[in-house]
Amino acid sequence: MSNTYTNILSEEYLLGALLLDPESVIMTLRGDGIDQASFTTKDNQRIWTMANRLYDDGRIHSIEVMDIEPDVLGSHEGKELAATIWRLRDKCLGLSHVKQHIETVKAYKATRMTREASSAAIASIEQGAEAETVIAGLQDKLNDALLQLKSSKPWKTTEEITEEMVGIIETANRPELQTGVSSGIHSIDHHTGGLDKEQLWVVAAPSSCGKTMLMMQVAQSFLNQGKSVLAYSFETSAGKLGIRSLANGMNIRGNALLARQGEKLTKSDIGRIRTGISEMNQANNLTICDNYDLTLDSMMASAAQRKKLGFDIDLIVVDYIQLVSVLGQGKSREQEVAEISRGLKKMAKQHGCPVITASQLNEEGKTRESRAIVNDSDVMLNINPAEEKVEIFKNREGERGVALNLRMNGQYQRFEEYN
């Protein structure tokens, strides 16, 4: 393999440190995501594999004397491997730079993963694969490469835990440090702390009970705070969603905007429309994808593309989860919806922002097609229009089962609190 895609010096440093102090170093390397694929020569991979096997068998001393144990080395390649081990041990300069070399090895592994993913994508294109399939596969592999760069030990020490606890308590008691963004509805924010990064919110209700309205009200709150919103709409055109936003943000009756039931725009309405549209164009922080054929993979690809073009994403709206499709065949609809639910949670983590979506409820009051929607959600709001309530059905970090007095106001496209 070309030297462009590997760093033998760092690989050998880590293996030398492992041979010097296997009991502490091997767990450090494992915790930081080092594995066999992190090494690029045959001998380096063999040494890593054997050391791990001996460690798991409780034979730590055998790692320290690996070069003289014939049952470890094997007779036919023993001499060559023994020479490599002696050289690594001789070159080892201690443990002081382990962390630095871990980061180097991880970076080169991520580079190799990126190159392999790109080569596989080119080969698929040359074989006639559809562009959407190739892009989706490439995006997943590139995300894996990115995670390799960010990977670290999967545990936290007591000291790290207590530091994180103090940080959470300080943030909760200092409003200027809080990370949750207001939903625009005080009672929801009071119980949930607002929409936080990497959270998946689900608005659930039977058909035509205000799911889109509530989501767009949350989106409008983000827009009012100067945040950027990316929305995927499978039922409503971008223009009509924009009108809902305008009705909510500028207090203009929806019937007048759409000339329904004989209502007409007043001069005041026209002035507010002009102001609202001007402010929307100036802010330039709302993006809507209203292609009804979007799949989960194409949504993830378009969000990544939008980010790459330099646009911030502070909130992702998906209207709604049962209308999203996935590539591939042979899966039940329940499996597909579960995959979509996990994909939306993955999007929240990838972009460091909340994702809010809607789900229909069946006649029994349960989410249609998959229970994974409830499992994956951090916050789930159930709309009950008959009783003029919105229940916090699930709240991963707070009180649940709370019924909020919220009445749907269709004219202004929002839910309003009442006593």
What are the pLDDT digits (tens) for 210-254?
888 899 999 999 998 999 999 998 888 888 888 888 888 888 887
Average pLDDT, the chain: 82
Q: How many residues does the chain have?
A: 419
Across residues 6-31, what is the average pLDDT?
86
**What integer pLDDT is reported at residue 1 of this predicted model?**
45
**What integer pLDDT is reported at residue 53 of this predicted model?**
87
Q: Is the dihedral of CA 204, 408, 418, 220 positive or negative?
A: positive
Q: What is the pLDDT of residues 96-118, one digit of tens each?
A: 788 888 889 988 998 888 888 88
- The whole-model pTM stands at 0.64
| Distance, CA of 233 to CA of 264 (rounded, Å) | 28
| Burial environment of residue 3 by CB neighbours within 10 A (0 to 12, 13 to 18, 19 or more) | exposed
Q: What is the pLDDT of residues 335-382, one digit of tens each?
A: 888 888 888 998 898 888 999 999 887 766 677 666 778 888 899 999
pLDDT of 86 > 90? The answer is no
Pairing of strands 402-409, 389-395: antiparallel
| Distance, CA of 74 to CA of 187 (rounded, Å) | 69
**What integer pLDDT is reported at residue 18 of this predicted model?**
86
Establish how many alpha carbons lie within 13 A of residue 338's alpha carbon, considering only the half-sphere containing its beta carbon: 9
- 362, 365, 370, 371: CA torsion to nearest 10: -170
**What integer pLDDT is reported at residue 222 of this predicted model?**
93
**What integer pLDDT is reported at residue 168 of this predicted model?**
72
**Residue 156: pLDDT band with limits 50, 70, 90:** low
Establish how many alpha carbons lie within 13 A of residue 92's alpha carbon, considering only the half-sphere containing its beta carbon: 19
pLDDT of 94 > 60? The answer is yes
Across residues 318-334, what is the average pLDDT?
78
**What integer pLDDT is reported at residue 316 of this predicted model?**
95
> Buried b vs exposed e over 253-268: b needs ≥16 C-beta within 10 Å?
bbebbeeeeeeeeeee
Across residues 281-293, what is the average pLDDT?
85
| Distance, CA of 206 to CA of 384 (rounded, Å) | 9
**What integer pLDDT is reported at residue 176 of this predicted model?**
62
Cβ(60)–Cβ(23) below 8 Å: yes
Cβ(401)–Cβ(393) below 8 Å: yes
| Distance, CA of 215 to CA of 319 (rounded, Å) | 8
**What integer pLDDT is reported at residue 129 of this predicted model?**
79
Residue 356: beta bridge partners? 201, 317
Looking at per-residue confidence, does 357 or 142 come out higher? 357
Domains along the chain with CATH numbers? 3-150 (1.10.860.10), 179-417 (3.40.50.300)
**What integer pLDDT is reported at residue 219 of this predicted model?**
92
pLDDT above 90 covers a percentage of the chain that reads: 12
pLDDT of 72 > 60? The answer is no
Looking at per-residue confidence, does 153 or 276 come out higher? 276
Looking at per-residue confidence, does 380 or 163 come out higher? 380
> 378 by DSSP, 3-state: which?
coil
**What integer pLDDT is reported at residue 125 of this predicted model?**
87
| Ranges assigned E (strand) in 85-162 | none
